[in-house]
């Protein structure tokens, strides 16, 4: 069975570089046989959170929100690509994520962080681990941390230099970990309905 993986990316900056990592992940996951799709918060452009998806009467949510809810429900796993803003997560990605809750439940999530500097967004990745766990996802232990992003991936998301080589070496374990939990969660959902 093909794994349906949504790769979420959240920068709204005009000169954003983290999309390179999102593109890299989509391409590498597809090369492994997954049905991977980029979910770009800037392109989806949900408003600042006023009402969660579940707070709209059935059938009355804004069309972009309804479409995304359907994609989230239909996914087997998620990857969150996060930059680091002042030691924390990007507001665009956090805002998109917060519009939903039950739609995320009982599926695995992975975190890939990046930054312009040597810390590679790991502080944001650490924060995301708690956020995603609270939102009902099983967060895998393998992570990717990329930095400096501009020296690790080129404009097309292709690895460059020693940072790119390190990313290529790390990706296999990251993807294997996500695939294992994806299969395990799917099998468990088929065997037994979630408790809530």
Sorted by where each starts, the structural domains of the chain and their CATH numbers stand as 4-191 (3.40.50.360)
pLDDT at 117 over 90: no
pLDDT in tens, 165-196: 999 999 999 999 999 999 999 999 999 999 88
pLDDT at 118 over 90: no
pLDDT in tens, 135-146: 999 999 999 999
pLDDT at 119 over 90: no
d(Cα 31, Cα 134) in Å, to the nearest integer? 31
> Can you give the pLDDT at residue 181?
98
The pTM of the full predicted model, rounded to 2 decimals, is 0.96
> Can you give the pLDDT at residue 154?
96
d(Cα 38, Cα 27) in Å, to the nearest integer? 10
Residue 183 Ramachandran class (φ > 0 left, ψ -120 to 50 alpha, else beta): alpha
Give SS3 for 136. coil
d(Cα 35, Cα 92) in Å, to the nearest integer? 24
Tokens of 165: 């080589």
pLDDT in tens, 4-63: 999 999 999 999 999 999 999 999 999 999 999 999 999 999 999 999 999 999 999 999
Overall average pLDDT of the 80-87 stretch: 91
- Among candidates 5, 23, 16, 33, which has minimal Cα distance to 158? 23
106 close to 133: Cβ distance less than 8 angstroms: no
């Amino acid at each position: 069975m093909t794994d349906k993986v949504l790769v979420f990316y959240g920068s709204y900056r005009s000169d954003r570089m983290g999309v390179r990592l999102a593109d890299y992940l989509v391409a590498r996951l597809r090369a492994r046989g997954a049905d991977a799709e980029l979910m770009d918060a800037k392109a989806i452009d949900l408003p600042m959170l006023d009402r969660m998806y579940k707070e709209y009467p059935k059938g009355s949510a804004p069309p972009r929100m309804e479409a995304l809810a359907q994609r989230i429900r239909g996914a087997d796993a998620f990857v969150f690509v996060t930059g680091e803003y002042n030691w924390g997560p990007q507001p665009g990605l956090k805002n998109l994520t917060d519009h939903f809750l039950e739609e995320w439940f009982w599926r695995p999530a992975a975190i890939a962080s990046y930054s312009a500097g040597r810390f590679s967004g790991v502080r944001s990745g650490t924060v995301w681990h708690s956020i995603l766990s609270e939102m009902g996802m099983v967060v895998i232990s393998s992570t990717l941390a990329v930095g400096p992003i501009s020296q690790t991936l080129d404009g097309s998301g292709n690895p460059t230099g020693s940072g790119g080589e390190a990313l290529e070496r790390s990706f296999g374990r990251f993807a294997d970990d996500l695939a294992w939990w994806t299969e395990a969660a799917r099998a468990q959902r088929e065997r037994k309905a979630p408790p809530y």
